[in-house]
Amino acid sequence: MLTFIVRRVAYSIPVLLVASLLVFVFVRATNDPLARYAQSRDLTLRAREGLSQGILEQPCRTFTAGSPPTKAETCTKAPVLKQYWYWLSHFVQGKLGQSFVTNRAVSADIRSSFGNTLQLLIWGVLLSALLAIGIGVFSAVRQYSIPDYLFTGLSFVGLSMPPFWFGLIAIDFFSSRLSSILHKNYPIFYSIGLHGIHKAGLIAGIGDYARHLALPVATLCVQIVAEWSRYQRSSMLDVMSADYIRTATAKGLPRRRVIFKHALRNALIPLVTVMALDIGGLFGGLVVTEAIFSIHGMGALFLNALNNGDTQTILPWLMITATFVILFNLLADVIYGALDPRIRLT
Amino acid sequence: MKTEGEMNLSGATTEDKVVTAAPDLPASEISLAPLQAGANEPPARSQWNLFLRRFRRHKLAVGSLIVLVLLYLAVSFPNLTAPYPRHLPLSLPKGPNGKHWLGTDDLGNDQLTLMIYAAHLSMTIGLLVAIISTVIGTFVGALAGYFGGWVDQVLMRITDLFLVVPALAIIAVAQVGLSNKSLPVVGKISSGTLIVGIVAIVFWMYIARVVRGLFLSLKEKEFIEAARASGASSWRIMFRHILPNTIGPIVVNTTLIVAQAILLESTLSFLGLGIKPPAVSLGSMMSDAEQWVGTHNAYLIYFPGLLLLVIVLCVNFLGDGLRDAFDPQSSKH
């Protein structure tokens, strides 16, 4: 197992390196971080910024021009590979530089955004997993019953649902209309941010937190539950037709025990693997939910950086999300090997 | 009606299994059939006929196909079907009424008319993306699966690379960076063309993996050996002998990509990263209408989203029906 993990990590490093090179070249080709100085009269600014990001390099030429005369500097542009090396060597040391949009260190921005995304992600994944497993087991045990058809139909709707539309409708109904129906002058569920602005006690604070989280988490869950419950249903059906389940039933175990102890534990193995894979992708996939509910998470950070051409933030963002995908791919394999003794990881 | 449709949802019905096991003949006659060839021969059924029979039994998929075709025809000729011209004089938004069935938007344009234009764009983009990514994916997957060895290694590592970086992010960066710029070779292109090209780049990997797997198993079969023995070139074996046998899974996955691409395009347009005005897509309509959430003008969000949901749902039903029809074993549950 240990050798497997070491080997996989060793294999991931070149993948990440090549990915980082491609991403870097791609971002540099599509976005010019110095473009915002194009109209600037003071060429020293451009030179200073370019030098600090490794886009420009020495020698720089100083001259005085214009009226009134200003001191200006022009430098030669570094080749892309050199720029990449400059960026990479700083990136691996954790020196991410400063964002000109927020005027804060990029690493601080990413850390605080990551915290917010993580809250959304943990609650969303927990809720989705519970719902999906419940629905999947129920549908499999009562195959071809009316609730089974209902859940199947709903899962198709969930898979076809544009996530942002669900979010908008949820805000429209639960945040606005529900209050007026109940004759309240405050929203039952909030649609902005993760916390209220007022300090609240512990109980009130938890209530406030839940009312903020309810709609974004629900929006996040729709597609995930639809996908995972289908998966859980089919893997549960596979297990339920296995011989050892028949044996367990035949020797007179209660049905509840057969389903939950014998069948469910085995049926969970494929689902857990899929969950690990999906969660890895979710770190970059909360863009929509965060945009609709004004949550300052990783997705919002990315959109904001992108709209302002802030490559200092975009590059590490892409690399961090890519690392999570690889990490969770590895985790999926490890979990699979740990849960299923027939799989031997070498 | 409803129960029948939903029964088909969850896969093959019992009739399906009978058809695939023994076409029309009672079990006792099967062993005799070769002896009395000619006299009692069952009617010859090509794969295609079998496929059609199974597909037709999938009522929901057939219905979805009909809805999609009719809808696409209707939105393809806005001059005939749209109740109003695209641009109307400026006025305040008005809710659904006798003159404007789905109301007017905040510029006074008829919402139904806008939705017709938008649905045409969204559906066309979905189709084009699916076709382009299928062609690329099939080609890559066929090469990797057939030749194996280092070709396979290189191509699959490239595929892995594309899977690692979040698709939405790559598309967004490309979209922001490339729109309104003059590109080499093609020059300046519209936001719609750009998004087709960019979205296709993130979907081909899924097809490539499926096709590679199929090629890996099919190339070991006897009929390929026979083709090789009779001197067929690699090219001919790949595209004349193996490819026709992989059509089923490819078509099913292409259909699913249509659904995914339509969703992705509308999401991007909603975020302001996709279709740019004056073109209008279902996503950008909802992006414009986001300000009306919670007001009595919220119908501006409900109708385009509902149409989008119906389109994607129909495509997904169609994909499910095609999967069952091509491979009745795949969904025994």
The DSSP line for B228-246 is HHTT--HHHIIIIIIGGGG
DSSP code string of B142-171: HHHHHH-HHHHHHHHHHHHHHHHS-HHHHH
Buried b (16+ CB within 10 A) or exposed e, A84-99: bebbbeebeeeebbbb
Query: Of A19, A164, A321, which is closest to B270 when you measure between CB atoms?
Result: A164
CB-based burial label for A32 (10 Å; 0-12, 13-18, 19+): middle
In this structure, the number of other CB atoms found within 10 A of the CB of residue A316 comes to: 21
| pLDDT score at A345 | 64
CB contact A322 to B (< 8 Å): yes
The residue of chain B with its CA nearest to that of A235 is B333
Q: For residue B180, give both structure tokens.
A: 């309104």
Contacts of A11 in chain B (CB under 8 A): none
pLDDT-based confidence at residue A70 (cuts at 50, 70, 90): low
| pLDDT score at B130 | 92
Contacts of B63 in chain A (CB under 8 A): none
Q: By the 8 A CB rule, do A285 and A298 touch?
A: no
Q: For residue B319, give both structure tokens.
A: 């994909």
Tell me whether residues B165 and A19 touch, CB distance under 8 A.
yes
pLDDT-based confidence at residue A28 (cuts at 50, 70, 90): confident
Q: By the 8 A CB rule, do B118 and B281 touch?
A: yes
Extended strands (E) in chain A: 56-65, 70-77
Q: By the 8 A CB rule, do B10 and A148 touch?
A: yes
The residue of chain B with its CA nearest to that of A239 is B333
pLDDT digits (tens, 9 = 90+) for B197-232: 888 888 888 888 888 888 888 888 888 888 888 888
Query: What is the distance in angstroms between the Cα of A74 and the nearest Cα belonging to chain B?
Result: 25
Instruction: Measure the CA–CA gap between A332 and A274, rounded to whole angstroms.
Output: 7
Query: What is the distance in angstroms between the Cα of B49 and the nearest Cα belonging to chain A?
Result: 28
Contacts of B271 in chain A (CB under 8 A): 164, 287-288, 291, 303
A336: number of CA atoms within 13 Å, CB side?
19
Tell me whether residues A160 and B3 touch, CB distance under 8 A.
no
In this structure, the number of other CB atoms found within 10 A of the CB of residue A238 comes to: 16
Q: Judged by CB atoms within 8 Å, which residues 324-343 of A form the interface with B?
A: 325-326
Of A271-280, A311-320, B38-47, the poorest mean pLDDT is in: B38-47
Of A93-97, A227-231, A318-322, B10-14, the poorest mean pLDDT is in: B10-14
Q: Judged by CB atoms within 8 Å, which residues 70-129 of A form the interface with B?
A: none
Instruction: Measure the CA–CA gap between B319 and B333, rounded to whole angstroms.
Output: 17
Tell me whether residues B6 and A164 touch, CB distance under 8 A.
no
Tell me whether residues A321 and B166 touch, CB distance under 8 A.
yes
Query: What is the distance in angstroms between the Cα of A280 and the nearest Cα belonging to chain B?
Result: 10
**Please, which residues have CB within 8 angstroms of residue B222's CB and are 6 or more apart in sequence?**
none
Return mean pLDDT, chain A. 82
| pLDDT score at A344 | 67
Q: For residue A341, give both structure tokens.
A: 């003794």
Chain pair A-B, CB pairs under 8 angstroms: 143
| pLDDT score at B13 | 38
**Please, which residues have CB within 8 angstroms of residue A95's CB and are 6 or more apart in sequence?**
none
CB contact A23 to B (< 8 Å): yes
Query: What is the distance in angstroms between the Cα of A188 and the nearest Cα belonging to chain B?
Result: 13
| pLDDT score at A261 | 84
Q: For residue A177, give both structure tokens.
A: 């209309």
Answer whether residue B131 shows pLDDT above 90: yes
Instruction: Measure the CA–CA gap between B169 and A301, rounded to whole angstroms.
Output: 12
> A191 φ, ψ to 5°?
-120, 10
Return mean pLDDT, chain B. 78
The residue of chain B with its CA nearest to that of A230 is B10
pLDDT-based confidence at residue B7 (cuts at 50, 70, 90): very low
Q: Judged by CB atoms within 8 Å, which residues 153-182 of A form the interface with B?
A: 153, 156-157, 159-165, 168-169, 171-172, 175-177
Answer whether residue B70 shows pLDDT above 80: yes
Of B5-9, B37-41, B141-145, the poorest mean pLDDT is in: B5-9
Answer whether residue B269 shows pLDDT above 70: yes
Q: Single out the residue of A168, A275, A177, A180 nearest to residue A215, CA to CA.
A: A168
Answer whether residue B328 shows pLDDT above 60: yes
Buried b (16+ CB within 10 A) or exposed e, B14-30: eebeebeeeeeeeeeee
pLDDT digits (tens, 9 = 90+) for A139-176: 988 888 898 889 988 999 998 988 889 989 888 888 77
Q: For residue A7, give both structure tokens.
A: 């080997």
Degrees, nearest 5: CA angle B256-B258-B259: 65
CB-based burial label for A105 (10 Å; 0-12, 13-18, 19+): middle
Answer whether residue B2 shows pLDDT above 60: no
Query: What is the distance in angstroms between the Cα of B288 and the nearest Cα belonging to chain A?
Result: 12
Query: What is the distance in angstroms between the Cα of B245 and the nearest Cα belonging to chain A?
Result: 26
> A297 φ, ψ to 5°?
-105, -165
pLDDT digits (tens, 9 = 90+) for A190-213: 777 777 666 667 777 777 788 888
Q: By the 8 A CB rule, do B161 and A18 touch?
A: yes
CA distances, A328 to each of A281, A344, B11, B206 (Å): 8, 19, 32, 19
| pLDDT score at B133 | 92
SS3 B277: coil
Q: What is the pTM of this model?
A: 0.82
